[in-house]
Every structure is written in structure tokens, then in C-alpha cells.
Amino acid sequence: MAQLSAEEYVESLLEADEQLDKVAETIRAEGMPEISIARGYGKLLTLLVQMTGAERILEIGALGGYSGICLARGLGERGKLVSLELKQQYTEVARRNLTAAGLGDKVEYRTGEALDSLRRLEEEGYRFDLYFIDADKGNYPNYLEWAIKLANPGAVIVGDNTLLHGDSMNPEAKGNRVVKMREFNERMVRDPRLEGVILPAYDGLAIARVR
């Protein structure tokens, strides 16, 4: 029997999750990209929400609602998730999945360009305790700046896919998304407004706290 990878070993310890399995099946059936957050990091999102006591969460990139469920599960009675998604189809799939999971009342979806939605959220006076960024990689630095701008003191910012399947570490990779992700990673760790770290498992997860 082949030795398990670190990720496979960790996931073998997690209990089966029927709701999240159904979300993955729905994403596949809808012909959507199968790029939801990894199971282990999904569990970490729930724990981060619970441990920080976050009441207002902003998710940038809903896809089919997999990460939305993980985030909303950690919310208390008064908690709310605002989820930004570019495509109407994805918004509707995510909404159905959150509703099926009994979390539909915890989430508000906004469809369209995320940067436009962020500007509107600022105008409406929104502030957030935790962010999850998992959308177009070329805009990660822009999303980070908005997250800091709309952050409550001590807010936590999480960004997925920071390793870009190895491209972030490959000096030969020079596309825009790679350059922007490297900028995002450096800022998450070195920006004086933040205290951050990058976890190298799966495809990389950056976590920072706003000072």
C-alpha cells in the first residue's frame, strides 16, 4: 500500500461530510470548475470563525458555496456572511447549497465585479471581522487592500491558492496572476499593517491579522 501524502493523511482523519460532498457533486453536475477549497482548509475556516468570534464575514468568490458553508458554520446566532460572486449561475448554485445546508439565512450574495461590490460596501458603511479571498488571482493585491480598508480592529484575512500549483515559487513563471500572487504573499507576511503567515499544504493558504 502506497504511503499517504500529508494532505491525504490529514483528510483521512476528518469525518465524512455529506453536505460538502453534495456541494462538490452539484458543482460537477453544473459544469462549474472543481476548485473549491481543500477539505482540510475548509475545516480550518470554520475553526477560525469560531476561535475569533467573527460576526461579519466577507467572502470574495462564492463558486458553489463550499467555502461559504465552511464559513457560515462557524458563525454565532447574530453572525452574517456577505459573499461576492461574478457569475449569476454560481451565485444561484451557492445560494441553493447554503439553503440546503440550513444556512441560507446567514448569507447575503452580491453578484457582479467584486471591486464594484467592495466600493458599494464601503459606501454602505460595512466593516468585517474575517475575510476569505478565493477569486481571480490577478486582483488579490486589490482585494487585500480593500480587506484592510474595511477591517474591524484585529480582523483576520485568509487567501487561498497562494502557491498557484508551484508557479509562485518558479522563477520562470512570470504571468500577471503569478506576479500579483507573489505581491499578495509578500504583503500578507511583510505589510506593517498585518501579522501574517503562509501555510504550505495543499495549494497554500495565507492568513494574516490586521494590527
Asked whether residue 2 carries a pLDDT value surpassing 90, the answer given is no
pLDDT at 24 over 90: yes
CB neighbours of 12 closer than 8 A, spacing ≥ 6?
A: 4
List, for residues 134-155, the tens digit of each pLDDT value. Answer: 999 999 999 999 999 999 999 9
Residue 118, pLDDT score: 98
Q: pTM (2 decimals)?
A: 0.96
Q: What percentage of the chain reaches a pLDDT higher than 70? A: 100
Tell me the pLDDT tens digit for each residue of 172-202: 999 999 999 999 999 999 999 999 999 999 9
The residue-averaged pLDDT of 164-172 equals 97
Spatial contact of 208 and 167, defined as CB atoms under 8 Å apart: no
Position 81 pLDDT exceeds 90: yes
What pLDDT shows up at residue 1? 79
Q: What confidence tier does 101 reach under pLDDT thresholds 50, 70, 90?
A: very high
Biggest alpha carbon distance in the chain? 57
Average per-residue pLDDT for the chain: 97
